[in-house]
């Protein structure tokens, strides 16, 4: 793309987009519609307000908002002044929120007051009890989050501890001239950290994936030939922007001059009307969300008929393929948060040959890929299954608060935990995850985190969380529990308690009560053999009372 060589950070990217698509609509939602030029102007005002509020280069800014034009403005404002933007999941419960605010060293929190059934002001007060003593007239000093200094709120109400409202922060920006902001933007380097994206890992707590400004921007241009987005298309964004799937979808749409259309609610009845009324070209969303729409009583095939689909949507049957090409010959792309989007794929319009059906494509850009024996690390012959390792100049910088040797191999490769095989010609076939990580409707769930909350319940002696294969969601979270007493606890009550501690997508859809003597263990070490739990017990997919069915949208369950 023309001018790409000079676009190395977010301020330059925004100027590039405005020059090409200035008066086009870029974001619609929540009663607002903003053009590219309006996002530039409003994010500039907010950036200047942040500078006057003491935010600067490297400041950790938390963003707790649902998908909306405001989210996009805040994201751009933070990156324009070299701050580090941390998207905070709107699914977090107070316990999870308290951990994230502390671990991520968030200094400034920009947040919506409420969204559907969530009152984020109340949840923040539950997460940080010491907020009650805070005063807006001075910086916060909250022991539960020792680096948090200010909170700015979009929406109604202003608690005594809040520094101010979003509109007030925007208005403050008018006190600083544009030349000052331009000087600040001139000091934003490609090597500066731009975002921390938190994603569940193999431990009880999420991992903060750190990406630089340069890597984000260069990845967008590198992936442009592989993106399904075309000039000026309207894309409905159901996938959260605080996770890589939603953020990459939004930015790749913007690079093509498209319009992001954010639904005000995720429930299926609303979405059926929304898709039709907005005349969308694409709809991003998890399998559970799309299935919930498709299974609603008001759904007809005409609702999805006008939508185009990505490779994975077409191959899974979630959306019509939109072309005469067989879905099984439409390539998907494989990526992860650590690579800020796909590392493997094919150029848009590619039709897989008969003998390459199911391929996720060849390597993209400068990413190197190899498959090794998971135990020895020795590289395997082409076509042999093993663990996928990747490296490249646009890889993440690392995990927040983790030393480099804890994250990367000595030669710079990163262990993905994905079981794959790569043919001689570079085509990659994904075969699943090596570890215990559960991936349900695109979201990662660390079993240990759910197990710890289960074990904190007085009726639970042992708890084992695993992923049950599911054709629509990939995996469904289920749990096997050894009760503390002879009588098994009430499953609905137990699930309700978990729902107050964990995001809805982490709460097991099924809890099976078992005896301790029936838990399969290694004869040598006594370690529980989780792989045999699925084989030994009936986890065939019954839906307990009060649990959402497998196709129910996890976002809907959390948001309503």
Residue 108 sits at the vertex; the CA angle it makes with 107 and 109, to the nearest 5 degrees, is 125
CA gap 547, 550 in Å, rounded: 9
**Average pLDDT estimate for 429-436:** 79
Tell me how far CA of residue 221 lies from CA of 226, 302, 332, 351, 538, in angstroms: 10, 34, 19, 22, 48
CA gap 389, 397 in Å, rounded: 16
Are residues 472 and 550 in contact, defined by beta-carbon separation less than 8 angstroms? yes
Higher pLDDT, 555 or 57: 57
Residue (of 115, 114, 95, 91) closest to 103 by Cα position: 95
Are residues 215 and 394 in contact, defined by beta-carbon separation less than 8 angstroms? yes
pLDDT winner (highest mean) among 121-135, 395-409, 440-454: 395-409
b/e sequence 535-556, b meaning 16+ C-beta within 10 Å: eebebeeeeeeebbebbbbbbb
pLDDT digit string, tens, across residues 196-227: 999 864 445 789 999 999 999 999 999 999 98
| SS3 labels along 440-507 | ECCEEECHHHHHHHHHCCCCEEEEEEEEEEECCCEEEEEEEEEECCCCCCCHHHHHHHHHHHCCHHHC
> Is 310 a residue whose pLDDT tops 60?
yes
> Is 321 a residue whose pLDDT tops 70?
no
> Is 397 a residue whose pLDDT tops 70?
yes
> Is 413 a residue whose pLDDT tops 80?
yes
Tell me what percent of the residues of the chain surpass a pLDDT of 70.
90
pLDDT in the model for residue 486? 81
Are residues 364 and 343 in contact, defined by beta-carbon separation less than 8 angstroms? yes
Token pair for residue 277? 């009324």
In CATH, what class is 4-188? Answer: alpha beta
Token pair for residue 339? 């690579």
Residue 353 sits at the vertex; the CA angle it makes with 350 and 355, to the nearest 5 degrees, is 145
- Give the global pTM: 0.83
Residue (of 560, 464, 439) closest to 514 by Cα position: 464
CATH 3.40.50.980 segments of the chain: 4-188
Higher pLDDT, 158 or 550: 158
Q: What one-character DSSP code corresponds to residue 545?
A: T
Residue found under tokens 């101010």: 164
pLDDT in the model for residue 320? 66
In CATH, what class is 438-559? Answer: alpha beta
Tell me how far CA of residue 97 lies from CA of 55, 106, 271, 357, 383, in angstroms: 22, 11, 28, 42, 43
pLDDT in the model for residue 143? 96
CA gap 269, 554 in Å, rounded: 15
pLDDT digit string, tens, across residues 470-495: 877 888 999 999 998 888 889 999 99
> Is 89 a residue whose pLDDT tops 50?
yes
**Residue 439: enclosing H or E segment and its boundaries?**
strand 438-440
pLDDT digit string, tens, across residues 344-370: 999 988 889 989 988 999 999 999 999
What are the φ/ψ torsions at residue 180 (nearest 5 degrees)?
-65, -45
> Is 158 a residue whose pLDDT tops 80?
yes
CATH 3.30.300.30 segments of the chain: 438-559
> Is 456 a residue whose pLDDT tops 90?
no
> Is 183 a residue whose pLDDT tops 50?
yes
pLDDT in the model for residue 448? 80
Task: Round the average pLDDT of the chain to a whole number and report it.
Answer: 88
Residue found under tokens 């569940």: 200
> Is 552 a residue whose pLDDT tops 60?
no
pLDDT in the model for residue 548? 32
Q: What one-character DSSP code corresponds to residue 319?
A: S
User: Taking the CB of residue 5, how many other CB atoms lie within 10 A of it?
Assistant: 8
With both helix axes pointing from N to C terminus, report the angle between 178-186 and 69-80 in degrees, rounded to the nearest 10. Answer: 70
> Is 168 a residue whose pLDDT tops 80?
yes
Q: What one-character DSSP code corresponds to residue 48?
A: H
> Is 447 a residue whose pLDDT tops 60?
yes
b/e sequence 64-86, b meaning 16+ C-beta within 10 Å: bbbbbbbbbbbbbbbbbbbbbbb
Are residues 75 and 63 in contact, defined by beta-carbon separation less than 8 angstroms? yes
pLDDT in the model for residue 1? 44
Residue (of 427, 495, 423, 435) closest to 459 by Cα position: 495
10 Å CB burial of residue 160 (0-12, 13-18, 19+) is: exposed
Q: How confident is the model at residue 64 (pLDDT cuts 50, 70, 90)?
A: very high
């Amino acid at each position: 793309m023309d001018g790409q060589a000079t676009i190395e950070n977010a301020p330059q990217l925004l100027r590039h987009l405005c020059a090409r698509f200035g008066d086009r609509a870029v974001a619609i939602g929540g009663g607002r519609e903003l053009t590219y030029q309006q996002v530039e102007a409003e994010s500039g005002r907010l950036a200047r307000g942040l500078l006057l509020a003491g935010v600067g280069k490297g400041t950790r800014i938390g963003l707790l908002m649902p998908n909306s034009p405001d989210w996009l403005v805040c994201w751009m404002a933070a990156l324009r002044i070299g701050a580090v933007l941390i998207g905070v999941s709107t699914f977090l419960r107070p316990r999870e929120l308290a951990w994230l605010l502390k671990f991520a060293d968030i200094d400034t929190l920009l947040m919506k007051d409420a969204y559907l059934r969530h009152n984020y002001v109340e949840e923040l007060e539950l997460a940080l009890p010491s907020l009650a003593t805070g005063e807006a007239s001075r910086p916060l000093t909250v022991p539960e989050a020792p680096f948090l200094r200010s909170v700015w709120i979009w929406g109604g109400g202003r608690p005594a501890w809040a520094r101010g409202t979003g509109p007030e922060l925007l208005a403050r920006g008018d006190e600083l001239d544009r030349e000052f902001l331009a000087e600040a933007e001139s000091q934003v380097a490609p090597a500066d950290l731009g975002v921390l994206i938190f994603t569940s890992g193999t431990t009880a707590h999420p991992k903060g994936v750190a990406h630089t400004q340069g890597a984000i921007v260069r990845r967008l241009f590198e992936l442009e030939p592989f993106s399904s987005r075309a000039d000026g298309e309207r894309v409905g964004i159901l996938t959260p922007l605080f996770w890589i799937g939603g953020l990459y979808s939004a930015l790749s749409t913007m690079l093509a001059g498209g319009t992001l259309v954010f639904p005000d609610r995720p429930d299926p009845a609303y979405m059926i009307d929304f898709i039709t009324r907005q005349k969308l070209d694409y709809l991003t969303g998890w399998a559970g969300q799309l299935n919930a729409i498709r299974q609603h009583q008001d759904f007809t095939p005409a609702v999805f008929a006008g939508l185009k689909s990505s490779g994975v949507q077409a191959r899974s049957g979630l959306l019509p393929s939109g072309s005469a090409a067989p879905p099984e010959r439409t390539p998907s792309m494989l990526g992860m948060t650590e690579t800020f989007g796909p590392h493997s794929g094919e150029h848009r319009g590619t039709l897989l040959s008969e003998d390459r059906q199911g391929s996720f494509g060849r390597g993209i850009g400068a990413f190197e890929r190899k498959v090794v024996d998971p135990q020895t690390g020795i590289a395997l012959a082409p076509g042999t299954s093993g663990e996928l390792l990747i490296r490249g100049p646009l890889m993440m910088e690392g995990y927040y608060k983790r030393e480099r040797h804890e994250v990367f191999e000595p030669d710079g490769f990163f262990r993905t935990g994905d079981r794959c095989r790569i043919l001689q010609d570079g085509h990659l076939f994904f075969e699943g995850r090596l570890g215990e990580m559960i991936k349900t409707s695109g979201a990662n769930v660390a079993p240990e985190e759910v197990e710890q909350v289960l074990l904190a319940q007085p009726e639970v002696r042992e708890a084992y969380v695993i992923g049950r294969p599911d054709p629509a969601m990939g995996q469904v979270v289920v749990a096997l529990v050894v009760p503390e007493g002879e009588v098994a606890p009430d499953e609905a009550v137990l699930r309700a308690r978990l729902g107050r501690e964990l995001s809805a997508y982490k709460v097991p859809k099924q809890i099976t009560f078992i005896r301790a003597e029936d838990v399969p263990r290694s004869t040598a070490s006594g370690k529980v053999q989780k792989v045999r739990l699925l084989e030994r017990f009936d986890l065939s997919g019954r839906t307990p009372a009060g649990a959402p069915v497998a196709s129910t949208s996890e976002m809907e369950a959390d948001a309503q």
